[in-house]
Chain A
């Protein structure tokens, strides 16, 4: 079964220069799409990459295992962008801002739903949300 998942990779310093992603393609037959990549300087240099990974379930699992063995830390994206439900006022200012449309207005209840599977981690909602209800955890 083919699957597609969005994940966040944290590379320790020693791996930043290694062709880790290349191995995913070559050895595990996975397709990838880089959604975001950066290297943070503090406290110790670390690479961060938000990736969309596609492939067969088995190969995907093997690829993830390979990454974990090299020392890359993996988080799934849906956990990284969360909404502080206490702060969200259900105004709807985020709806037109979010590129993949991860915020949906329920026309009946007028609630704004956050569909985290749709989130591509662009970060636009963080500052566009007036009460600052959207949070990112890396």
Chain B
């Protein structure tokens, strides 16, 4: 048994052994769990994929004369930002669109530019066009504001993603006879392709399936900079079907993450367009896992063969909230290039970049080895299986009876 303090001490002395969640697999095979636990201090994870429920809030500072944007309308490069918090605090969501975007009026819409792209340009240091109207008050008399803004001049600029790093995810297919355009990509008819979106064996929560080390306050790699786990993500659902190894076979846990956007990079926050669906952002997240016990080490040695995902029909089962699945496949099968569904060989494609996930795990490893990144003790753990937390569907109650 080790403590996080002891591990930090070793990091400071340059004596810590840090490996990625990919490297740990062979290391455990070679040395066994006991020896590996003694030797390894930290295992780094990573994931880089389109992640909705991402956004940024910022304070633009007060104009002269003052304007109260709350209750008015504010746009950043024509994309709607939410001003309803106060006078000059804004929240920009990755899915937000310009008012004049044609959306799906001609289906499938292109969704070339949205909130995710604004965040990417903001973090890249580009000037952003702010246009706003307000209703005016005695203390905030101004009713109109049009100005360029730049990240370096803003006050707080904070990336705050309320649901990222899904522990596991559906494999999307299309059983219908026409192409469909989904947040899981373009799905060709009659099981023409299967799309998945997870880093599998490198994915943060797959390496800590029962949330034994990752909790509120955990310091992480976020968007190329340093961030923290703020809370469990929305839709966090520990009580799903799990394999014997504890690894969820369905969506399960999520993370809400936060960090100073000013120290992040556009390489790891990429504006993303899902054809026929909308705009979002591809986010890089990496979480270090302290090897405190043999149990925790065993979890980090999980391989793509041991992680299973459900195959879901996005032409009917998904949109209509039907529980049916078409089977389960392992990430090893998904990564082989094709899977079998209903007796048919279906080619697979990924929305999440494994190459970049490896890069994140390695960057985090370098940060820790260089002594600049110490681990944090979570102030509270995320709700686990024992919490009874589940993800409930909407209970609709008609307004008129």
A residues at B contact (CB < 8 Å): 87, 89-97, 105, 107, 109-112, 124, 127-128, 130-132
Q: In whole Å, how far is A37's beta carbon from the nearest beta carbon of chain B?
A: 22
Q: How far is the CB of A129 from chain B (nearest CB, A)?
A: 8
Tally inter-chain residue pairs, CB-CB below 8 A: 74
A89–B349 contact, CB under 8 A?
A: no
User: With contacts A91-B350, A93-B185 known, is A128 near B275, CB below 8 A?
Assistant: yes
> In the complex, which residues of chain B have a beta carbon less than 8 angstroms from the beta carbon of A110?
353-355, 358
Q: Which residues of A contact B133 (CB under 8 A)?
A: none
28 A-B pairs whose Cβ atoms sit less than 8 Å apart in the complex = A89-B270, A89-B282, A89-B353, A89-B356, A90-B353, A90-B355, A91-B350, A92-B349, A92-B351, A92-B353, A93-B185, A93-B195, A93-B349, A93-B351, A94-B349, A95-B349, A96-B347, A96-B349, A97-B185, A110-B354, A127-B108, A127-B273, A128-B186, A130-B273, A131-B273, A131-B282, A132-B112, A132-B273
For B110, list chain A residues within 8 Å (CB): 127
B22 CB to nearest A CB, Å: 11
What is the total number of residues of chain B having a CB less than 8 Å from a CB of chain A? 33
B interface residue numbers (CB < 8 A to A): 48-50, 108, 110, 112, 185-186, 188, 192-195, 270-275, 282, 335, 337, 347-356, 358
- Cα separation A87 to B50 with both chains bound (whole Å): 14
B48, B188, B358: the one contacting A96 at CB < 8 Å is B188
Which A residues are CB-close (under 8 A) to B356? 89-90
B267 to chain A: closest residue by CB: A86
Q: Taking the nearest CB of chain A, how far is it from the CB of B383, in angstroms?
A: 31
Task: Name which residue of chain B comes closest to A106, CB basis.
Answer: B355
Q: What separation, in Å, do the CA atoms of A128 and B50 have in the docked complex?
A: 13
The answer to whether A91 and B351 touch (CB under 8 A), given A96-B192, A130-B274, A131-B272, is yes
Q: Which of A92, A94, A124 has the most CB of B within 10 A?
A: A92
Contacts of B274 in A (CB 8 A): 130
